[in-house]
Amino acid sequence: MKLALIGTGKLGCALLTGLFQRGVLAPQDVGLLSRDAHKTCQVAGRFGAPVIGRGDLAGAEYILLCVQPGAFQEVAGWAGGHSAGYISTLAGVTTGTLSRCLGSERAVRAMPSLAATIGRSQTALTATPGAEAAGDLAFAQGLFGAVGDTYRIPEHLFDTFTGMSASGLAYAAVFAEALADGGVRMGLPRPLANELAQKLLVSGGELLAERPHPAMLKDEVCSPGGTTIAGIRALEGGNFRRSVIDAVEAATRRGHELGRGERETGDS
């Protein structure tokens, strides 16, 4: 078994979708395991991957932890101690905590997003020296590189990456919803307003990728005394920029809190 996936929630399914669609791994090479046996069987049926038990982890080359941070201590109690390389997507749980609680010097920390389902995830990666020496970081880069872009960054910036990039999908969704609400308020039918908001974010992202700074696109759209600059003024009046900055800061701080909590629990 090449990979044992512990956790079959939204992120786990997103990764499976991207990996199998792009042929990085075959379904028979990935074993599925979670606390919810019924759900695991449903996911297994959907992807054609086998359901495994805790005893099967000894035969895995890599073990991917895709559970909530609060479940880490419980999972580490029965998933640790194997010779496999460990890869974790748990927010706030450091490589030091992973190594200590799993009893392994081979720990890779990854932070992907649900955009893995369409091959557009942005994944941060860092690893312990033991994982780098064993080639685990290279494996993780191939794993997550198949579902988007990977960024190897210092671990002290992981929470910031999470607060901006991984959480950013939700911020964009809230903006799209609010934009559509504005259209409805001014008379557009809801289905049309939703479609316009969705397509706007897609085209906006593509246009931004062609420019070195987002302000350039804003300046191109804003004509003197026009409608767009009037809308920008309204956003500024509502502290739009400040709210977005505060959102990234709040998410980053929450990542710090999760990390402190995991370390304190791991030391007890």
pLDDT digits (tens, 9 = 90+) for 92-139: 899 999 999 999 999 999 999 888 888 899 999 999 999 999 999 999
Q: What is the mean pLDDT of residues 39-65?
A: 96
Find the mean pLDDT for residues 232-244. 97
Residue 232: band (very low, low, confident or very high) from pLDDT cuts 50, 70, 90: very high
Residue 260's pLDDT is 74
Percent of the chain surpassing pLDDT 70: 97
Please tell me whether 2 is known to bind a ligand.
no
8 marked as part of a ligand binding site = yes
pLDDT interval class at 18 (50, 70, 90): confident
Which contacts (CB < 8 Å, 24+ apart) does range 34-41 have?
A: 34/6, 34/7, 34/8, 34/9, 34/67, 35/71, 36/8, 39/8, 40/8
The answer, yes or no, to whether residue 60 has pLDDT greater than 60, is yes
pLDDT at 144 over 70: yes
How many other C-beta atoms can be found within 10 angstroms of the C-beta atom of residue 235? 11
Residue reference for tokens 């990979």:
3
For residue 130, with 0-12 CB atoms within 10 Å meaning exposed, 13-18 middle and 19 or more buried, which class applies? middle
Is 114 labelled as part of a ligand binding site? no
pLDDT tens, 197-213?
A: 999 999 999 999 999 99
How confident is the model at residue 117, as a pLDDT? Answer: 81
**Residue 46 pLDDT greater than 90, yes or no:** yes
* 9 annotated as ligand-binding: yes
Tell me if 153 is assigned to a ligand binding site. Answer: no
Find out whether 188 is annotated in a ligand binding site: no
Q: Which two tokens stand for residue 256?
A: 């710090």
Q: What is the pLDDT of residue 267?
A: 34
123 - beta bridge partners? 150
- What pLDDT score was predicted for residue 146? 86
183 annotated to bind ligand? no
pLDDT in the model for residue 261: 66
pLDDT of 116: 86
Domain 3-153 has CATH 3.40.50.720: yes
Q: What is the DSSP letter of 59?
A: G
In the CATH scheme, what is the homologous superfamily, with its name and number, of domain 168-250?
Answer: ProC C-terminal domain-like (1.10.3730.10)
Q: What are the residue ranges spanned by the domains of the chain? A: 3-153, 168-250
Mean pLDDT of 17-28: 91
Q: Does residue 264 have a pLDDT over 70?
A: no
Q: How far apart are CA 124 and CA 157, in angstroms?
A: 9
The most confident of the ranges 20-24, 57-61, 259-263 is 57-61
Q: Provide the 8-state DSSP code for 114.
A: G
